[in-house]
Structure 1
Amino acid sequence: MNQQPEWITVGALADGFASDNHILPAIDDLAGRTLTLYFDNGWQIEHRFDTQRLSWNAPGEPASAACPYRATSVRPGFYLVDFLKQEQGRTHSVSLVLDLQQQCFTAVIGQMPTQAECSVDLFSRALAGGELTSVKAQFLHGSIDAPVRAETPRHSPSDELIGLRNHYLYSSSEAYEHVYLNANFYSWQCLKGVEQGLADTDRCHYYKIAEQLYLFVWREKIVPTLGLVLIDLQAGRSDGKIFGYQGTDFSNAANFPVGALARVLNRTHHG
């Protein structure tokens, strides 16, 4: 009789993904640049980059303390900038998809649940009509270095991944399969690696960034996890990050890069 595979923390998952992986190298293309992001909601935030750290501020406000960031590019003209910021005693994940071809961006702000929020069981969540996951993600859009106008391009929600069954090889030891079910959910299973044998169906979000280039975000309900990747089907690869708690005491955040060689296994069409 097969043993039940064990769920692990995000910190333990990071250890499994650490060696011989397919993450893209961090780049310093943005070093020395200042980009002003004009949000659809009226925010205006200036971001200043050096080789390893960035700071930001709204007009008339003091600059934030500089914090480490990671910038990668899966395709020329597109950057994923990822960092953590502290606000009101909580750690928030910030991921910026910078589209320098169209001078627009998408920002994903993620927040892990508290221990009390995690203690609410799934059945109670379902009966209350809420989401099963307690991980939060906010999606914001806008323009770069110019105020938002009616004709400003937008990264829009997309259904182009729905129906795909994809294989992702993260390293020589870590492989996963994704099945994109519908606009709200996808299924995953670990084919080999530290989560081998585990599988689930979780809440997800899809945005089209360019032709065959997608932002995919998922929010897991068993172990609090926010995953975010850019998937380039043209190049056959993905790159992004996973955010969660380092251990079981909810005291330290884990935020580590992931990248995979990606291939489409098949597509299902429902008539």
Structure 2
Amino acid sequence: MLLDVQNLKVSFDTPDGVVEAVRGLDFTLAEGESLGIVGESGSGKSQSVLALMGLLAANARVTGSARLHADSGPIELIGARSRTLNRVRGARIAMIFQDPMTALNPHLRIATQMTEVLTRHRGLGRRAAHAAAVAMLDAVRIPDAARRIRYFPHQFSGGMRQRVMIAMSLACEPDILIADEPTTALDVTVQADILDLMAELRTRTRTALLLITHDLGVVAGQCERMLVMRRGEIVERGAIGPVFAGPSHDYTRALLAAVPRLDGPRPAPRG
């Protein structure tokens, strides 16, 4: 077992009172496994993974347990000190955010941002880090990587920026890759390329995937198991095939029914 999350709860203190975002989340993740967390906006998906990474707002309260297993023993992520989380983030757990333009520093060249990750977490020298960064950009199929690594984020398209984020996330060969709606802002053809790329790189590195999305099609193509969240709670869990074939909860059935189908009856013409 790589990650064991038990009774995770996240709430926020607001002027109108306490808002409960996540209420008792439990799941496990094994090496190389892919787990999807599905639900509508506001269901608590993103807040759950941000809690694991220690990236929530200052008014958040987090309780429960999230143990990352390592050779030296389990590391408790909930309530961990910044020093511990800084060692884990990037090196053991990496994250791809929804919008790479806000995740990347617009004032720094891609080379600077990528080499910082490699020097901090892998202890590489400046020259070796630069070479490794170029190799990672090549791996995510960015053309002319040796030249484009000197670009600023705004000089890349949305799909290329997401490829840069994937390269940065996998540069240190983390145990777990968290992808929070990684294809939301991309057109359909670019989405397919990014998802194929993630699957290919994960197969090569044996990195476990925790995929946060509202897109059931993405989950079906990328994950082995899924959790369905609603109002901060898990309403259904299981392997992809059985959940899609015979969902047990009304909410899951409603999500599946909302997916457009090409083999269904055609709507009657208007007028």
Please report the TM-score for the alignment, with normalisation by the length of structure 2: 0.31
If each structure's strand is expressed as a fraction of its own residues, which one has the higher value?
Answer: 1
If each structure's helix is expressed as a fraction of its own residues, which one has the higher value?
Answer: 2
- Higher RCO (Cα < 8 Å, 6 or more apart): 2
Larger radius of gyration: 2
